C-alpha cells in the first residue's frame, strides 16, 4: 500500500510455486488490489498480451524470470516492478517497510474483482476471467464440504499455483487449516516421495501428469508407503478409465495402499474452478464427473435450439452458483454469448462442454462443444475414442480430431505418442484394426499419425486447435 498499489489496481504476478506466491496474492487482497496470475513459462508474446490486455500497472516477478519481462515492459502500461529474490524493489524490503497501523480496505465481496486468471486459450487467445472475493470464498467452502478435508489432512500438490485448481487448494488450506505441501515444479518421483514423506492424505494431478506418474511407477523397481493417502483426484480434463485402473493397481502393488480411491473433479476457471465431484462412498461412479457441489445448479441444454434436456440426453452443460464468475475482462461479445436463461429468468453459464446427467444425477462429460466430430450427421466425442485408445498397451498419450472430408464432413484422426518400447513395432493399420474391433463402425478411426508429443496448455489441457491447424496446413 505504501508503495502506491491501490484498490482495484491490476497487478501481474509471475512467481513459481512458493510461499512468496501465496503471500503476494494475499497481500494484494489486503489492499483490495486485483492479482493477475501469469504462467512462468510464458515468453515475450504471451507476456505482452496478458500485461496489456489486463491493463496491469504493477508487476511482481521472481528474479529468475525478470529477464523475460525486460524486452516487453516498455510496450505495456506497467509503472512499477517488484522482484522477489532480487535487488530491484525487493519484495522483502517492501514487506519490512510495512506499517503496523495499516487499515483494512473495504471491499464489496460480490462485486469487487479479486482475481483475473487467464484461460488456457484452447480455442483462441487467452481471456481474463473476473472472479470476485465472494466467488473464491464460496468455492473454498464448497470444496471443503464436498471433499470432507479438514485441519487433520495433508494435501500434497504438484501443479502450478497460477492454475486455478491448485490455488483453489491453497484457499481451502486457509479455510480449514490443513497442511499443504507443494513442489516447485512437477516431478513424478518427487510427488511419489512427498506423498510418503509427508503422509499425504489427498493429492491430485491433471491426467497427463498422472499418466507420467503411472508410467514411472510401472517401470520402476522402487516402492513407496502411501498408506495415509485416502484420495488421488484428477481434474482440468477427464481421465481415461484405463489410467485410473492402472493407478489403483499400482497403489496396491507398489505403494502399500489397496484402499486408495480415485476422484474426478470437474470445473473450469470461470467457476473458481470446482463444480462437481464424486461422493466418497460411490466408487462405482468414480469415472463420472460426479454431482454438483453445494449451492450449484447444473442443467443440460440442446445444442440445436437451447431447450432444457432430460435425463440421459446429451447437450451443452450450463451451471449457476455463488462460485460462477462475474464475466470476461473487456470481452463484450463473449459476455453476451456465454449466458443461458431458464424459464424463470435465472442466469446460467454456458460451459462449452458436452455431456449428460444420468438417472442418479451424476454428470457424464463427453467433450467440448467446438471439438465434437460431425461424421455423416453423427456426433462423435473425441474423448470417447481417446479413452478407448488409452487401453491399448502401446499407447502412452493420444489426441483425436475431426479431419475434414468431402464425403463425410469429418472423419476421426488419431495422433498417438507410443511408449518407447513399442516404437517401430506398431503401425497405423494395427491401431485402426484394433479400434475397429471395439467400437461402432461410424466411430472408428480412419487415420493415425504417430508423434513425439502432443500440444497442451500449462494446465495439461489438450490443444486440439493446434492439431486441426496443422492438419489444415497439409491441405
CA 60 to chain centre: 23
Phi/psi at 39 (5° precision): -65, 120
Mean of the per-residue pLDDT values of the chain = 91
- For residue 396, what is its C-alpha cell? 502412452
Contacts of residue 441, defined as CB under 8 A and 6 or more positions apart, other chains included, come to: none
Q: Tens of pLDDT along 428-449?
A: 999 999 999 999 888 999 999 9
- Which pLDDT belongs to residue 262? 93
Contact 205, 166 (CB under 8 A): no
The strand ranges marked E within 237-314 are 261-267, 274-277, 291-292, 297-301
- Which pLDDT belongs to residue 239? 87
Q: Is the pLDDT assigned to residue 286 strictly greater than 90? A: no
Q: Is the pLDDT assigned to residue 123 strictly greater than 70? A: no
Instruction: Determine the straight-line distance between the first and last CA of the chain, rounded to whole angstroms.
Output: 56
Buried b (16+ CB within 10 A) or exposed e, 425-438: ebeeeebeebbeee
- Quick count: other Cβ atoms within 10 Å of Cβ 47? 24
Q: What's the pLDDT band for 406 if we cut at 50, 70, 90?
A: confident
Q: Which domains does the chain have, with CATH numbers?
A: 10-106 (3.40.50.980), 148-175+184-259 (3.40.50.980), 372-473 (3.30.300.30)
Report the distance separating Cα 242 and Cα 218, nearest Å.
14
- For residue 385, what is its C-alpha cell? 475414442
Q: Where are the alpha helices (DSSP H) in 311-458?
A: 332-337, 382-389, 428-436
Report the distance separating Cα 337 and Cα 334, nearest Å.
5
CA 351 to chain centre: 14
Q: What's the pLDDT band for 35 if we cut at 50, 70, 90?
A: very high
Q: Tens of pLDDT along 381-403?
A: 888 899 899 999 999 999 999 99
Q: What is the CA radius of gyration of the chain?
A: 23
Report the distance separating Cα 204 and Cα 195, nearest Å.
11
Mean pLDDT of 308-337: 96
- Which pLDDT belongs to residue 368? 81
Q: Tens of pLDDT along 43-53?
A: 888 899 999 99
Burial of 271: CB neighbours in 10 Å, binned 0-12, 13-18, 19+: buried
Contact 196, 215 (CB under 8 A): no
Q: Is the pLDDT assigned to residue 453 strictly greater than 80? A: yes
Contact 118, 136 (CB under 8 A): no
Mean pLDDT of 114-122: 82
Which pTM does this prediction carry? 0.84
- Which pLDDT belongs to residue 46? 85
Q: Tens of pLDDT along 245-265?
A: 999 999 999 999 999 999 999
Q: What's the pLDDT band for 85 if we cut at 50, 70, 90?
A: confident
- Which pLDDT belongs to residue 5? 87
Q: Where are the alpha helices (DSSP H) in 14-132?
A: 19-30, 44-54, 66-73, 91-96
Cα dihedral 443, 449, 453, 454, rounded to 10, equals -40
Report the distance separating Cα 152 and Cα 143, nearest Å.
16
Specify the residue for cell string 468414480. Answer: 286
Q: Tens of pLDDT along 58-83?
A: 999 999 999 999 999 999 999 999 99
- Which pLDDT belongs to residue 472? 84
CA 311 to chain centre: 27
Q: Tens of pLDDT along 175-215?
A: 999 999 988 888 999 999 999 999 999 999 988 889 999 99
Please list the residues that pair with 338 across neighbouring strands. none
Cα dihedral 164, 167, 171, 177, rounded to 10, equals 150
Higher pLDDT, 338 or 208: 338
Contact 272, 113 (CB under 8 A): no
Mean pLDDT of 445-454: 96
Query: What percentage of the chain reaches a pLDDT higher than 90?
Result: 72
Q: What's the pLDDT band for 99 if we cut at 50, 70, 90?
A: low
Amino acid at each position: 500500500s505504501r508503495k502506491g498499489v491501490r484498490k482495484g489496481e491490476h497487478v501481474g504476478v509471475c512467481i513459481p510455486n512458493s510461499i512468496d506466491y501465496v503471500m503476494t496474492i494475499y497481500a494484494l487482497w489486503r489492499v483490495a488490489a486485483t492479482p493477475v496470475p501469469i504462467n512462468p513459462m510464458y515468453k515475450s508474446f504471451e507476456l505482452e498480451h496478458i500485461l496489456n490486455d489486463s491493463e496491469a500497472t504493477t508487476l511482481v516477478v521472481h528474479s529468475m524470470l525478470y529477464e523475460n519481462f525486460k524486452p516487453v515492459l516498455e510496450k505495456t502500461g506497467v509503472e512499477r516492478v517488484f522482484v522477489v529474490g532480487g535487488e530491484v524493489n525487493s519484495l522483502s524490503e517492501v514487506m519490512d517497510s510495512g506499517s503496523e497501523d495499516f487499515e483494512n480496505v473495504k471491499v464489496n465481496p460480490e462485486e469487487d474483482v479479486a482475481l483475473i486468471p487467464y484461460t488456457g486459450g484452447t480455442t483462441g487467445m487467452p481471456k481474463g476471467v473476473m472472479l470476485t472475493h465472494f466467488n473464491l470464498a464460496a468455492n473454498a467452502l464448497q470444496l471443503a464440504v464436498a471433499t470432507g478435508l479438514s485441519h487433520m489432512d495433508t494435501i500434497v500438490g504438484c501443479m502450478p499455483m497460477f492454475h486455478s485448481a491448485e490455488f483453489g487448494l491453497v484457499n481451502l488450506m486457509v479455510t480449514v487449516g490443513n497442511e499443504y505441501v507443494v513442489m516447485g515444479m512437477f516431478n513424478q518421483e518427487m510427488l511419489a516421495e512427498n506423498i510418503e514423506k509427508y503422509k499425504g492424505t489427498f493429492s491430485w494431478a491433471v491426467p497427463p501428469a498422472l499418466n507420467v506418474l503411472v508410467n514411472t511407477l510401472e517401470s520402476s523397481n522402487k516402492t513407496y508407503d502411501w498408506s495415509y493417502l485416502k484420495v488421488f483426484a484428477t481434474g482440468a480434463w477427464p481421465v481415461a478409465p484405463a489410467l485410473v485402473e492402472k493407478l489403483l493397481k499400482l497403489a496396491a502393488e507398489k505403494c502399500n495402499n489397496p484402499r486408495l480411491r480415485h476422484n474426478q473433479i470437474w470445473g473450469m476457471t470461470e467457476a473458481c474452478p470446482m463444480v462437481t465431484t464424486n461422493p466418497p462412498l460411490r466408487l462405482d461412479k468414480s469415472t463420472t464427473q460426479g454431482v454438483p457441489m453445494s449451492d450449484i445448479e447444473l442443467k443440460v441444454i440442446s445444442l440445436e435450439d437451447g431447450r432444457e434436456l432430460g435425463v440421459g440426453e446429451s447437450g451443452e452443460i450450463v451451471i449457476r452458483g455463488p462460485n460462477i464468475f462475474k464475466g470476461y475482462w473487456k470481452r463484450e461479445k463473449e459476455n453476451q454469448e456465454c449466458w443461458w436463461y431458464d424459464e424463470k429468468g435465472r442466469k446460467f453459464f454456458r460451459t462449452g462442454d458436452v455431456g449428460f446427467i444420468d438417472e442418479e444425477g451424476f454428470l457424464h462429460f463427453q467433450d467440448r462443444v467446438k471439438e465434437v466430430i460431425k461424421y455423416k450427421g453423427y456426433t462423435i466425442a473425441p474423448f470417447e475414442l481417446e479413452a478407448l485408445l488409452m487401453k491399448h498397451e502401446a499407447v502412452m498419450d493420444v489426441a483425436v480430431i475431426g479431419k475434414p472430408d468431402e464425403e463425410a464432413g469429418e472423419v476421426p484422426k488419431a495422433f498417438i505418442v507410443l511408449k518407447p518400447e513399442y516404437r517401430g513395432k506398431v503401425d497405423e493399420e494395427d491401431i485402426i484394426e484394433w479400434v475397429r474391433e471395439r467400437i461402432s463402425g461410424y466411430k472408428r478411426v480412419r487415420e493415425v499419425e504417430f508423434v513425439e508429443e502432443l500440444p497442451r496448455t500449462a494446465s495439461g489441457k489438450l490443444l486440439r486447435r493446434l492439431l486441426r491447424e496443422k492438419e489444415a496446413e497439409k491441405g
